[in-house]
Amino acid sequence: MLRPRLHAACASILSLALLTPGLMSAQQFGGPLAISGNQLLIGEGGNQTLSGLVYVFGEVDGTWSEVDQLQVTDELRQPDGFGRALDAEGDQLLVGAPIEGAAYFFRRTSGGDWVQEQALLGTEGGRFGSAVALAGDLALVSAPQEGPGAVHMFQRGADGLWSPAGQIDSPNQAGNGFGGLMATDGDHLLVTAAGAGRGAAAPVYAFRLEGMESLGELQATDLGDRSQYGAAVAVRDGTAYVGAPGVDNRVGSVFSFDLRGDAPEPQGRLGPIYVAVGASFGSSITATDSQLLIGAPGTGGTGALYAIEDDESVRIVTSPTAPRGASFGSSVALAEGLAIVGAVGVDERQGAVVVFDGAWDELGTVVNEARGFASITGDEIHCVEGQAALFECRDVNITAFVPIAEIGGARGTRVNDIWGWTDPETGIEYAIVGRTNGTSFVDISDPYQPVYVGDLPATPGSRIAIWRDMKVYENHVYVVADGAGEHGVQVLDLTRLREFQGQPITFDETFHYDGIHSAHNIVINEETGFAYTVGNSGGGETCGGGLHILNLSTPSRPVFDGCFADPETGRRGTGYSHDAQCVIYEGPDEEHRGKEICLGSNETALSIADVSDKDAPITISSASYPK
């Protein structure tokens, strides 16, 4: 029986590609937005691995094109968070770099170039620069992990330099995360803190900047669980707006408050015109002199933006070019007769920005070029003092590194899992790499010169999935994906890899099993020739998310052969299993020796079952996890 045995050195390198922090996280180009004159300023809200950039776009020969990049280091592998927060006012730009704990001031010259003028540094570990705001000669920079959190104030002097001008501390010294988001109209300031859990309402505090007077907390009622209250804030002329996109099963709402008195006074509640579960109305809020802009990035599957005029007329802005899952409306900036709307879901959350004129006529869409590390081939890179090339290491050398773009990936594609196969005739060893949009096959016989052989695209009509799992049996690979809709089990005869003649091949499935839709994982007992999909969902015979049993006696055509799920386990009492291992038991317990036993890593307990009789599998035992 052939078992996967990836060359140790090459396996470690492919693991680096999979596990380097942040490569699993989309960069989310188009989260932070600002406009200065005729230039668009765009950051990357999700970049955790590379040094940060702020992309500058301008109109060139009638087309919006990248004209500059702002950065504070030339080192690629230097995550600083630069560009996660930004605000522009006139020719001034303030950029936060919270991983580094800094904020940077830039000035736009008459020629349109940006010049860095000053850097501000916070205390180590305080995440100084997480949120920034400009209001004339006042600059505000938050540090939400500086104790319970703080907002630092800076005043611009006659020499153009910024000096400390005070600090606003969290009203709740027992809380944390004060300064996660900020908004100001020059007279008032809104600051959010951390909620009590995922999706929970976040405290939102209001201040009057003159005298740094605290006005109290902006509190809303009847929010329900996971309201995400405080996910977005804005303030204009003494009226505060707080987004709660999770309210009413993610329909979403925006709550308004009057700040002109001694304490915040609730004014009302805004909701979407098109009420739909998942619309997430209130995910972004921008208040301008004449409009209130509210994002609803889940509307209609692509997203929408509500533009509310002072006369209370409403325009619903959408983009006919935005693809499904674009999250159009996740951010917005409006100035100088231009509007830009973030669509951070485009290209697997790599992100895009849609450009409009002042009348909301679409002018185009801008994207950045996905960044990453250059390939490493030919020579072994030794791990010296914890570093091998750009990668951290310990007791492992690099024989090669292959970027995702060179193994079938497109803009935004990520990788998530790996398996292997050795051809019994040729001896060629292959890595089988799961991508969000398919499966790659790489010849790693020479671990210093990996060769991309081909691609098995994801099942047509299925959704992009970061959870893709593959296993091999009798020269066939079986591929499943989680949360992918009608994906099923893809089967490919691996001997087809022998067809490779130097150009990558796009393979068709040998067989498609549609008895399930999505699955979190697939397990194969090579001794018995049975496969087990687990974490099944979305349609077909899910078996409660437990073991969906497949007979592989004809490897190219798996056949359904039963279910097993332990209803005493799983969060919903269905026996949902995250992973499993099935073996022929050869241990000391004579009662079970020689039987096929499956150990299920279920949500709430370890489940142990005898699946020898596929028509009547039985629970042997279960054990809850330590707390």
Looking at residue 166, which CATH number applies to its domain?
Answer: 2.130.10.130
| Residue 430 forms part of a structural domain | yes
122-172 pLDDT, tens digit each: 999 999 999 999 999 999 999 999 999 999 999 999 999 999 999 999 999
Q: Order of strands, edge to edge, in the sheet holding 596-602?
A: 577-584, 596-602, 605-610, 618-624
Compute, in degrees rounded to 10, the torsion defined by CA atoms 28, 33, 342, 76: -20
pLDDT digits (tens, 9 = 90+) for 50-76: 899 999 999 999 999 999 999 998 887
For the cut 50, the answer to whether the pLDDT of residue 11 exceeds it is: no
Q: Is residue 238 part of a domain?
A: no
Task: Provide the 3-class DSSP secondary structure of residue 208.
Answer: strand
pLDDT at 109 over 90: yes
473 located within any domain: yes
Q: What CATH number has the domain bearing residue 499?
A: 2.130.10.10
Mean pLDDT along residues 98-111: 95
In this prediction, residue 312 carries a pLDDT of 87
- For residues 51 and 75, the answer to whether their CB atoms sit within 8 Å is yes
User: Is residue 552 situated within a structural domain?
Assistant: yes
pLDDT at residue 195 in the model: 82
Kind and range of the H or E element at 478? Answer: strand 476-481
H or E stretch at 11: helix 8-19
Beta-strand ranges (E) seen in 288-337 are 291-296, 304-309, 314-317, 328-335
204, 192 in Cβ contact below 8 A?
yes
Q: Would you place residue 225 in the very low, low, confident or very high pLDDT band (cuts 50, 70, 90)?
A: confident
Give 26's pLDDT tier (boundaries 50, 70, 90): low
For residue 450, what are the domain limits? Answer: 405-624
d(CA 304, CA 315): 10
Where is the domain boundary, 131, 153, 175? 175
Structural domain includes residue 591: yes
From the list 6, 51, 15, the residue with the least C-alpha distance to 402 is 15
> pTM here?
0.87
pLDDT at 90: 93
Asked whether residue 327 is domain-assigned, the answer is no
Q: What is the DSSP string of 535-576?
A: S-EEEE--GGGSEEEEE-SSTTS-EEEEEE--TTSSTTSS--
Confidence (pLDDT) at 435: 97
Answer yes or no: are the C-beta atoms of 474 and 512 closer than 8 Å: no
Tell me the sheet residues that pair with 431.
420, 442
Q: CA-to-CA distance for 608 and 597, rounded, in angstroms?
A: 7
Task: For residue 16, name the pLDDT band (cuts at 50, 70, 90).
Answer: very low
What's the confidence (pLDDT) of residue 25? 45
pLDDT in tens, 180-224: 999 999 999 999 999 877 889 999 999 999 888 999 999 998 898
Question: Per-residue pLDDT averaged across 542-560, rounded?
Answer: 98
Domain count for the chain: 2
Give the mean model confidence (pLDDT) for residues 620-626: 93
- Of 175, 197, 215, the residue at which a domain comes to its end is 175
Among 175, 201, 229, the domain boundary falls at 175
The answer to whether the beta carbons of residues 132 and 145 sit under 8 Å apart is no
Position 423 in a domain: yes
Q: Where is average pLDDT lowest: 218-227, 278-287, 488-497, 579-588?
A: 218-227
Mean pLDDT, all residues of the chain = 92
Element (H, E) at 618: strand 618-624
pLDDT at res. 47: 79
Average pLDDT over residues 357-367: 95
3-state secondary structure 28-88: CEEEEEEEECCEEEEEECCCCCCCCCEEEEEEECCEEEEEEEECCCCCCCCCCCCCCEEEE
Q: How confident is the model at residue 554 (pLDDT cuts 50, 70, 90)?
A: very high
> Using CA atoms, how far apart are residues 440 and 414, in angstroms rounded to an integer?
12
Rounded Cα gap, residues 382 and 598, in angstroms: 41
pLDDT surpasses 70 at 18:
no
Smallest CA-to-CA distance from 297 within 272, 315, 333 is with 272
At 431-449, the pLDDT tens digits run 999 999 999 999 999 999 9
> What share of the chain in percent tops pLDDT 90?
87
Q: Is residue 205 part of a domain?
A: no
